[in-house]
């Protein structure tokens, strides 16, 4: 009988937190929580209620101030707290999947490590992973399985908020819904056209420049809350994988 390896995967971002059940490499029962630690921890409790015993917590975070709360939560629930980091990537469940070529590996964002490990496991290398969240991040793994570095650029929420905060008359544009108009015939439409089309141009140029720099034809993989919206109806050949970060976190933390 196959041993069922289970973890609870938690991905703490600047805008929201995702949680899911990782079972033998399959991610299920995913919840996206916008209400901070209280909502996300309640979602984890709901997952634990259906399990026969406490399971490890595979933890990804780009919000350091949240780490203490989650460590305390894991301790109270008697869960083994396993945080994604370069050392665990090398020696944990993803050992040998990726090697790291980076001056200061300890400074690599945990989400970028999880994205890269998950992408190589699911799609192989070379691969370029872009995570469309509060920031737009990219991770590059070349054909030889080496994590070379990446890119960090403003995400869609930051672009929207900057326009609103730094201008006197522009409204706070709604994001995540609605397509690109043929031309802006209102302030909202003009902003939407400029933001979405300009953002797609940035994504296209990043992918093109990295391909030239490494002489690689990368498999393009996208994840994050805004990926499907930004890439809809484009010629950008991305595979959209909504559970990639949670999958990679579980993979790295599955000792």
Asked about 111 being catalytic, the answer comes back as yes
Q: State the catalytic residue, choosing from 11, 111, 115, 131.
A: 111
Residues with Cβ within 8 Å of 219's Cβ and at least 6 positions away in sequence, in order, are 119, 123, 124, 125, 126, 127, 128, 239
Cα torsion through 130, 35, 88, 214, rounded to 10: 10
**Distance from C-alpha of 122 to C-alpha of 245, rounded to nearest angstrom:** 12
CA distance 159 to 154: 6
- Distance, CA of 76 to CA of 242 (rounded, Å): 30
Task: Give the strand order in the sheet containing 26-33.
Answer: 26-33, 17-23, 6-12, 57-61, 81-83
| Catalytic positions | 111
């Amino acid at each position: 009988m196959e041993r069922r390896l289970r973890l609870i995967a938690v991905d703490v971002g600047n805008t929201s937190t995702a949680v899911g059940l990782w079972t033998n490499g399959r991610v299920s029962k995913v919840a996206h929580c916008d209400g901070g630690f209280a909502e996300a921890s309640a979602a984890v409790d709901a997952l634990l209620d259906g399990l026969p015993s406490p399971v490890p917590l595979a933890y990804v975070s780009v919000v350091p101030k949240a780490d203490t709360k989650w460590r305390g939560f894991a301790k109270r629930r008697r869960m083994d707290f396993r945080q994604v980091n370069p050392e665990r990537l090398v020696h944990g469940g993803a050992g040998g999947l990726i090697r790291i070529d980076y001056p200061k590996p300890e400074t690599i964002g945990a989400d970028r490590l999880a994205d890269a490990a998950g992408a190589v496991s699911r799609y192989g290398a070379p691969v370029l992973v872009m995570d469309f969240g509060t920031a737009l991040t990219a991770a590059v793994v070349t054909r030889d399985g080496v994590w070379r570095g990446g890119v960090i650029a403003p995400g869609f929420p930051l672009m929207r908020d900057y326009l609103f905060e730094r201008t006197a008359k522009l409204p706070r544009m709604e994001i995540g819904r609605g397509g690109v108009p043929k031309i802006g015939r209102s302030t909202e439409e003009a902003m939407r056209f400029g933001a979405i089309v300009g953002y797609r141009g940035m994504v296209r140029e990043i992918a093109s420049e990295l391909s030239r720099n490494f002489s690689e034809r990368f498999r393009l993989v996208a994840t994050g809350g805004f990926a499907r919206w930004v890439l809809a109806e484009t010629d950008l050949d991305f595979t959209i994988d909504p559970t990639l970060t949670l999958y990679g976190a579980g993979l790295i933390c599955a000792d």
